[in-house]
Every structure is written in C-alpha cells, then in structure tokens.
Amino acid sequence: MRRGGWFLLLGCILFLTNGVFAHAVQDSLFEKALDAESAGDVVQTIALLEQANTYQGKYNAEIREILDSYYEALQMKGSSAGDPAIPAASEDSAKNRLNFLSRAELVGIKYDEYGDSLGANEYSGEAYLQVGAEYEIRSGAISHFILASFSTDQFMREDSTVFDTSRWAFTPSLEYTVQGERFVASLGGDVNISERDGAVFGVNLSAEKDFYASEDYRAGVSAFGYLNDNIRARAKLGGYWEYRPQYGFWTNLSLSGRFERDTSVSAYFWHYTGFDDSWESREDDWSEDSFSEDTSAVTQDSVQERYYLGRNVKIGPELRMQLGYRFNKMFSMDLLGYLFWSYNPFEDEWMTFVDEVEGQAGWVTSTWNREILQGSARLRVNWRGEHFGTYLSVGTYFRRYLDLPSGHPEIYAYSYILGEIRLGATFRF
C-alpha cells in the first residue's frame, strides 16, 4: 500500500472511532450532570452539561434545553453552543490553582548521510521523562503561571556514532508566563547537566501579540530568543496568521527572520614537511581556534597546519506551516513543518594542497560563505482527556549545504536526513 493510502486509512479509522468515543463520553458526562443536579450542585451541573454539549451524541438537544432553562432561571448570559457561563462563585474559586504534570516519550531515530563515501547511516533511540508543577494565579483578564520542572534524557546509540549527543542529560528548569486576552510572554531558565558538557546554563524568552483577533482568526507578531553560557544562541522575530475554529480544520502560518550561533569548528592535521599527500593523523576539535595536543603520531620531520575553520553562524528567513483537524475536544490530527534558508556572513576557510603554486608545490587557502537549507515535517495524532493524553508522531528532518565549492571539507557529507517516530503520554492533575 502506498504511503498516501496508509494516511487515508488512518484518517478513516480516526473518523469512525471519533464518533464512538464521542457518544460514550457524552453519555458519561450527562449522567454525572444528572447526579450533580440531584445533589443540588447547580454550578457542577452546568459545567458538566456544557462539557457534554461539546460532543456530538443523542443528548445534544436535551442538554441545550436544560441549559437554556438554567440560564433563564439564573438570569445569566450563557451559551449552549460550547462556551460555559459559570457563576461568579465558581470563578472566584478558580483564581489560584496548582497543577502537577508529567510527560514520558520514547523516540526511534534513523540517520542517513549523503556525500560521504562511507555512506554513514545509524539507528538510535531516546527515552525522555519530565515531571513538574505549575501554579496559576488569575487576576481579572490576566493569568500568571509559574512552572518548575525536571526532565531527563537517556540516549541509546552506538559507541562510534555521528550523533552529537551525550549518553544522558538532566535538566531542571523554571519558567514564568503571563497571558492576557491578546498577548502571552514567557521567561525561562534551565541548567542542562550532561555526560559530555557538564553543567550548561541557558535562558529563553518568547512572546506573542495579537494585532487582530476575531472568533476564529488572529494575526500578530512573535519573538523568541535563547542563549547559553557556551554562547550558543538563537533569535527569531516575525509575524503569524491563524485560523482556529473550535472543531474542524485549522491552520497557522508564520514568517520570521532567524539568527543562530553555534560553536565554531577548527580542524587540524599532520603532514610531512616534504608535502607528501599522506596524512600521519588528523585531529578535530569543536571549539574555536583550539586543537588537541596529541603528539603520539608526531615525528621530527612533520609539522602541523591548520586545515579548516568554520564559524557556525546562520541568518535567514524561516517559514513555518501548521495545519490540522480537530475532531472533538479529545481527538486531533496535526501536520507541522518548517523551512529555513540560512547564509553565513563569516567565511569558511580551508587549505588545499596543490602540486604547483607559482612553480612549486604548496598550500592554497580558499574561502566560501556557507549556505544551508534545512527543514522538517511531522504528522501527529493526539488524544487528550481531562487528566491523561497520548500522542503518536512520525517525522523527518533534513539539512543540505547549497552550492558547495570543489574541495570544501563539507563536500564529503553535504546533506543528511533524520527520520523519527515518537510515542508519548502526558499527565495533568
């Protein structure tokens, strides 16, 4: 069966099971609402009826009729179409709230590299766990959230690998978020403790501001920034447009200017003073303008030469595309993706040995401004209840150097594709 056929079959299964689950959930909520009504709890009765009315089932007409009678008796401005009207006493009781949350995820990864004569490809995996607590404070139309969490990653990979990861990592973090009717902003910090890098401190800032908003549409500007004490940094500024009804198809498009700085690359190798083209050994170090002092392979008639220097800076436009279908309050399917074209204003520099330079053998220094196209696509199916949720996603990520000149070191691995499948569960109570 073709890939498109599998997606169509999955969509049909979700569509059919959606109706079965919706009816069962509505029946359960309606029974709970009748029990609350018998106990004289008006607030709980209305809340349960409003929740039951968001599902399509055999009781929708009866639920709307009961809700309308409650609203008329209480002289409340309510809606039986899915927006609950809660008495003031209930609003007061929900001003401050403490939630505990956790997320567990298993990831399978396949890596394929192109351009390398060895044809590098690997399988790997990751196990991820996060636990935390969130405290919410409501003040009028403004909500404040304080989140403290702890996450751990365990990477399962080969001993000799192309993956630039540690075997394990632990990350405690703290985040503050403020949200209003047309804006949201977050400030966070974390400490990533890993096998390879030790403790690395990082801070991040994000914000969104709607300049247009209606019932189903919104548009505005967004910003994001990240910096750690290894001087790795990322910053984005752009605009977005979103169409998101309560149910059915939704979409979000954003266009941003993006800046990234990663650690630079310096690579060195040993060669004979007689300009023999065989290499005694080669040392690679991933910090700028430094190299390993391994002298085990050094002989008296050899010298050290710098081979390659690249400052890893990326500047360019990023396009993000998201769309999905929300079957009801619990089931949804999403397709997420982005494209990022980047230009490096700092030149890569490398040396190439040639047989003749001005009549004699020697080294020629070449430069090139790096251009990269990278992106990803992910299909995700979600199920989310009141306290428990689960998701399954299949995705791919790629990176490719553009217009590499002859002789550039990256020509031996000019692109790669990483495919992954994720299975996760979330808990919130």
Check pLDDT > 50 for residue 147.
yes
Q: Of 3-17, 65-79, 239-253, 285-299, where does the model show the most confidence?
A: 239-253
pLDDT at 80 (0 to 100) = 39
Q: Which of 117-121, 391-395, 400-404, 409-413 has the highest mean pLDDT?
A: 391-395
Q: How far apart are CA 265 and CA 312, in angstroms?
A: 7
pLDDT value for 239: 97
Burial per residue of 136-155, b for 16 or more beta-carbon CB atoms within 10 angstroms, e otherwise: beeeeeebebebebebebeb
State residue 344's pLDDT score.
93
pLDDT, residue 278, reads 42
Residue of 48 and 225 predicted with greater confidence: 225
Between 306 and 69, residue with greater pLDDT: 69
Name the pairing type of β-strands 302-310 and 313-326: unpaired
Q: Is the pLDDT of residue 218 over 90?
A: yes
Residue 84 has pLDDT above 80, yes or no: no
Q: Given a cut of 80, is residue 429 above it in pLDDT?
A: yes
> Quick one: pLDDT at residue 114?
84
Q: What confidence tens digit (pLDDT) does each residue in 171-197 have?
A: 999 999 999 888 999 999 999 998 878
Instruction: Give the least confident one: 45-59, 273-287, 320-334.
Output: 273-287
Angstrom CA distances, 135 to 129, 144, 184, 205, 392, stand at 20, 8, 16, 19, 28
**Strand residues in 23-120 grouped as ranges (E):** 96-114
pLDDT category of residue 8 using cuts at 50, 70 and 90: low
Residue 405: which pLDDT band, with cuts at 50, 70 and 90?
confident
Question: Could you give all domains of the chain from N- to C-terminal order, each with its CATH number?
Answer: 3-92 (no CATH), 95-264+311-428 (2.40.160.40), 266-306 (no CATH)
User: Would the pLDDT of 210 be above 60?
Assistant: yes
Residue 78 binned pLDDT confidence (cut-offs 50, 70, 90): very low
Contacts of 94 (CB under 8 A, 6+ apart): 138
pLDDT in tens, 112-139: 888 765 667 888 899 999 999 999 998 8
Backbone angles phi, psi at 408, to 5 degrees: -70, 140
C-alpha distances in Å from residue 215, one per residue of 221, 229, 242, 286, 358? 18, 43, 11, 50, 73
Beta strands in 157-278 (DSSP E): 168-179, 183-194, 198-213, 217-228, 233-243, 248-261, 265-272
Spatial distance between the Cα atoms of 344 and 366, rounded to a whole number of angstroms: 16
Predicted confidence band of residue 226 (pLDDT cuts 50, 70, 90) = very high
> 3-class DSSP state for residue 6?
helix
CA gap 194, 200 in Å, rounded = 8
Sequence-separated (6 or more) residues with CB below 8 Å from residue 37: 45
